[in-house]
Amino acid sequence: MRPVQFFNDEYLEQCRRATPEAILEFLESFRLMNEKSGKSKLISIKVPLSLLEGFRRRCELEEVRYQTQIKRLMEQWLRGV
């Protein structure tokens, strides 16, 4: 089941004023984001040790793999959830 999204008046007005090019760019980005290519890219980032350890501990408590949770958070942020 997908969550219901609610949009404020300001956002809806911004959407009404979107150019055709901006709409096409959004749709293409959305398509690419949801594409099930199965491909992944290994990345390396610097994260403060205390932040990483706290994040990993919370993931252990919630019984979720921390890298999976990082990917979920990235997807949610892109979707504006």
Structural domain containing residue 62: 9-79
Question: Does residue 11 have a pLDDT over 70?
Answer: yes
30 assigned to some structural domain: yes
52 assigned to some structural domain: yes
The answer to whether 34 and 44 are in contact (CB under 8 A) is: no
pLDDT tens profile 28-69: 888 877 777 677 889 999 999 999 999 999 999 999 999 999
39 assigned to some structural domain: yes
50 assigned to some structural domain: yes
4 assigned to some structural domain: no
Q: Which residues have CB under 8 Å from 80's CB, separation 6+?
A: 5
pLDDT tens profile 12-24: 999 899 999 989 9
- C-alpha–C-alpha distance, residues 33 and 75, integer Å: 8
In eight-state DSSP terms, residue 17 is T
61 assigned to some structural domain: yes
pTM: 0.54
